Amino acid sequence: MKVLVIGLGLIGGSMAIDIKASNKGAVILGYDADEEHLDTAISLGLIDEKATLEDAASVDVIIVAIPVNVSLKVIPRVLDIVKDDTLVFDVGSTKANICKVVGEHPNRRNFLAAHPIAGTEYSGPQAAIKNLYKGKTNIVCEVEKTAFKVQERAMEIFNDLGMRIRYMDPLAHDRHIAYVSHLSHISSFMLGKTVIDKEKNERDIFDMAGSGFESTVRLAKSSPAMWSPIFEQNKQNVIETLEEYIVNLQNFKELMESNDFEAIYKEMEDTNRIKEILKGITIKSS
Amino acid sequence: MKVLVIGLGLIGGSMAIDIKASNKGAVILGYDADEEHLDTAISLGLIDEKATLEDAASVDVIIVAIPVNVSLKVIPRVLDIVKDDTLVFDVGSTKANICKVVGEHPNRRNFLAAHPIAGTEYSGPQAAIKNLYKGKTNIVCEVEKTAFKVQERAMEIFNDLGMRIRYMDPLAHDRHIAYVSHLSHISSFMLGKTVIDKEKNERDIFDMAGSGFESTVRLAKSSPAMWSPIFEQNKQNVIETLEEYIVNLQNFKELMESNDFEAIYKEMEDTNRIKEILKGITIKSS
């Protein structure tokens, strides 16, 4: 099996590691717009050989793990030249636009739209780790538009990676993921910004911040190159979640201003339900 | 050494464990308004004996680890009856009010205002763990108002717990801690609320949420009984941080609405500085 990984960051790099580990005969070609990433990927052993986009014509599997705005251009280009039974899948955090863009492509049936819910706040090939996908959820959209043999090949790979598959409509995916992922990132980035703006003396933050702060601003380390296009692609949904979040924060502030700490207690008590929900996530990811 | 721990939750209970471990001869008395907590603390071996508030008259050290609004009443009562050289310290997350309340107390010099920056999102005696304080920062306010011998006793205990001491004015403490702790909690609670409100079907959250979401809403598991009084005690500072946070979120939303994704990129890139700051925290707490 010849695999071409386009984009050798955390996501593509980690996939390369696990596919190689579970398919001893697999040859992993790698391409990245950033030549330095490509060199790092070779020196870390993530890939076997450097490739170009033209190599898409001769491989069995193509994984597209690049910012979602670039995917919109690269995926059709790749589909133009693939072999009849080649699997092309993406791993982007937005699914509606890519499904629309490839919708009328003559080789639409070679493509599978996927979103593995996995990652860390780090980026680049040096951030790639093994077993990143083990026990995680992989959301697959419009599976019925992918050729059966191509689907089958994808499921074998996802199975090797240890992922659980959930099928979903791309519009529903983008709406839901805005709440449980995109909004978290904005809340974290803006929290980081608020604190940095205020506490010009970093030493104070350093000394007074504990693990709670660390946990809530962790996502503010994330890559702007990855996240800015995600917010752009999922603009309407993200704006809606942001509006609801801001309203909730404003209400909380107004309760404080009117000294209604009973209502504040109640708000927090109701939200403690998140414990049960998170218990599910923790079990799933361990 | 006879120690009375008032409040046997995560904070008081964890302190009891480590003080006992580093002072073999220490006898730990415990008091909690919740009789069940007291029983649990005994059965877990956190304390040696049940006590009442009146036992404050006969012990060497009193640790007050209860919600900050209750502290305002309990600490003066305890100071009324302590021995001449008894150390009384609190561990609350707000410091201005308690310093004010004890300011004119005839036994002010027996009291030390402290805030160990340590904790988890769990609460109650069953959440108590050993080494919770190791390597963490302990903020001490108005140290000059505490008798020298009493200070000395406190520093021995903090040293046994493995904490680094930082001295700070109580007003500055409350202003800074609003940013790096109190605001994080509200941002997390309201994020949890926003998602729960929207995603009535919990199964969808469970399947689509990853470790990023888990990290940002972790603090929404926190105890309302502890946090509601903190927000009340630190009302003005917290409202100010909330206002700034809301403005930042609104600006972000407006940048999205006007399709200025370059500015969004820039905002995120600037905030990536948090990496360096968090590196400090991680080194400190490990």
Asked if A155 and A62 sit in the same domain, the reply is: yes
Closest chain A C-alpha to B41 CA, distance in angstroms: 23
The structural domain count of chain A equals: 2
CATH code where residue A162 lies:
3.40.50.720
Residues B34, B151, single domain; the answer is: yes
Same-domain status, B12 and B154: yes
> Which pLDDT belongs to residue B160?
96
For the record, the structure tokens of B82 come out as: 């302590």
For residues A97-110, give the mean pLDDT.
98
User: Do B116 and B213 reside in the same domain of the chain?
Assistant: no
Q: Which residue has the higher pLDDT, A196 or B260?
A: B260
Following DSSP, what letter does each residue of A52-102 receive, concatenated?
A: -GGGGGG-SEEEE-S-HHHHHHHHHHHHHH--TT-EEEE--S--HHHHHHH
- How high is the mean pLDDT of chain A? 94
pLDDT band at B141, cuts 50/70/90?
very high
Residue B284's pLDDT is what?
Answer: 45
**Cα dihedral B225, B210, A121, A185 in deg (nearest 10):** -60
Q: Which ipTM score applies to this complex?
A: 0.91
Q: What is the pLDDT of residues A240-286, one digit of tens each?
A: 999 999 999 999 999 999 999 999 999 999 999 998 887 766 544 43
* Mean of the per-residue pLDDT values of chain B: 94
pLDDT of residue A285: 42
A124 conformational bin, left if phi > 0, alpha if psi -120 to 50, beta if neither: left
Sorting pLDDT into bands at 50, 70 and 90, what band is A203?
Answer: low
- As a whole number of angstroms, the distance between CA B14 and CA B8 comes to 8
Range of the domain at A212: 173-285
Per-residue confidence (pLDDT) for residue A283, from 0 to 100: 46
**Which letter, b or e, does each residue of B85-94 get, where b requires 16 or more Cβ atoms within 10 Å of its Cβ?**
ebbbbbbbbb
**What pTM was computed for the model?**
0.91
Pair A45, A160 in one domain: yes
**Percent with pLDDT over 90 in chain A:** 86
The residue of A129, A268, A270, A285 whose CB has the most chain B CBs within 10 angstroms, and thus the best one to mutate to test that interface, is A268
Judge if B114 and B225 occupy the same domain: no
Is the CB of A192 inside 8 Å of chain B's CB atoms?
A: yes
Asked if A248 and B281 come within 8 Å (Cβ–Cβ), the reply is no
Instruction: Report pLDDT for A281.
Output: 60
Same domain, A156 and A248: no
Does B236 contact A at CB distance below 8 Å? no
- Mind telling me how many Å the CA of A56 is from chain B's nearest CA? 31
Model confidence pLDDT, tens digit, residues B234-245: 999 999 999 999
Pair (A177, A165) in one structural domain: no
**CATH number of domain containing B178:** 1.10.3660.10
B84 and B32, same domain (yes or no): yes
Average pLDDT over residues A214-226: 93
